Amino acid sequence: MRVSGLRTTPSESANRSVRLRAMNKRAICTLSPRLDVAFRRSVWPSRAMPARRHASSYQLLNLLEATGQVGVWSLNLRTGEMSGSLGLAHITGLPSDESLLGLLDRLLHPDDREALGELFDMLYSGRAIDRTVRLVRPDHTVRWVSVKAQIVLDDAHRPMRAEGIAFDVTGPHEARLLAEQSTARYRGLVHAIAAVVWTTAPDGKARPSPTWQVLTGQTGPEMQGDGWLAAIHPEDRARIETAWRTAMEHGTPYEADHRVLCADGTVHWYSNHTIPLHDADGSVREWIGIMQKMPPSGRFSSPEITGTLVRGARAMLRWSVVDLARAAGISVSSIRRLEEEVGTVQPRTRSAMRRALEG
């Protein structure tokens, strides 16, 4: 016997077939939009299951579907008839009494319709499916739905029915997309300002940084821990190590100008700005730093804050303009003028932004 692509021995098949036939006398798991009636009459036949277990299972499934994010369905692979639960109706946005025939073809997002034929081919060939697709509901909202199904075979081991479940995964899926977009913007900003970005563990031990490795020629293992100090000019190394240790001990922002031994054999001055990121309890979760090459005109220990630096810092902190305005006690328009380099921004306003970003 084969269920969902799994094979069993003849003896196992015989035993399992008996169980399936015994349970399938009342079409187990073939649910209809009237979930309460279908579940009570088909899933747990009264002779096979105590009434208490029957009611408990029914209530559990109803509780799951009450979240509005779970629905079950059944597809007869011989007649093409499809039925679903009230939970599925909620996910799709269809009335519970509407026929589900052609459901996927009508609701599937245009960009996902090519997968429809493949999904049905898998079901009719006796293979389980596990796919995430987009549905466009009648109210024109788009939902991401994870569809899973297994195959039930008849006594001749031919696909008879597909039993499936659908999960509304719109929230987690869109959160992941937003995180990917945020990461892409962050990388774009780092590239745009030609910066070196690096992070450390709470104890200050450096983690591998692709931009640092390109600049210095160090490998990931070579720069980890305190290995990055080897790429600092020998005359600056002790000063930088002391400043870094002090910042870690007090949990305060770290700023320093120093020379870096670059991979091409040259030496250049860089301005390093590193801040601690805190957990809710106030403990340091990690340190994140950004380094920019200093202009040929000479060193500067505290460069004027620019729109590019503000955008980069906001991206690292995942702050919106409103978040920064609230933290700095300034107007949103002042931040926009600085970032867009339109108009004049008072020095005290720049200082307030800097304190908020570094604090």
7, amino acid identity: R
Q: What is the pLDDT of residue 63?
A: 64
Write out the H or E segment, with its range, that includes residue 90: helix 86-92
Kindly tell me if the per-residue pLDDT of 265 is higher than 70.
Answer: yes
Q: Which of 90-94, 99-103, 130-134, 253-257 has the lowest mean pLDDT?
A: 99-103
Give the mean pLDDT of 157-184.
82
Kindly tell me if the per-residue pLDDT of 250 is higher than 60.
Answer: yes
Q: Cα(27)–Cα(42) distance, rounded to whole angstroms?
A: 6
Strand 159-168 versus strand 70-76 pairing type: antiparallel
Q: Is the dihedral of CA 104, 109, 111, 112 positive or negative?
A: negative
Q: What is the pLDDT of residue 239?
A: 92
Domains in the chain and their CATH numbers?
2-168 (3.30.450.20), 172-303 (3.30.450.20), 304-359 (1.10.260.40)
Tens digit of pLDDT for each residue in 307-327?
Answer: 877 887 888 788 888 989 888
In the chain, pLDDT over 70 holds for what percent of residues?
A: 71
Kindly tell me if the per-residue pLDDT of 237 is higher than 90.
Answer: yes
Question: On the CB side of 299, how many CA atoms lie within 13 Å of its CA?
Answer: 9
List CB contacts of 118: < 8 A, sequence separation 6 or more. Answer: none
In this prediction, residue 66 has a pLDDT band, given cuts at 50, 70 and 90, of low
In this prediction, residue 233 has a pLDDT band, given cuts at 50, 70 and 90, of very high
Give the mean pLDDT of 4-29.
34
Supply the DSSP string of 157-200, one letter for each residue.
Answer: S-EEEEEEEEEE-HHHHHHHHHHHHHHHHHHHHHHHTT-EEEEE
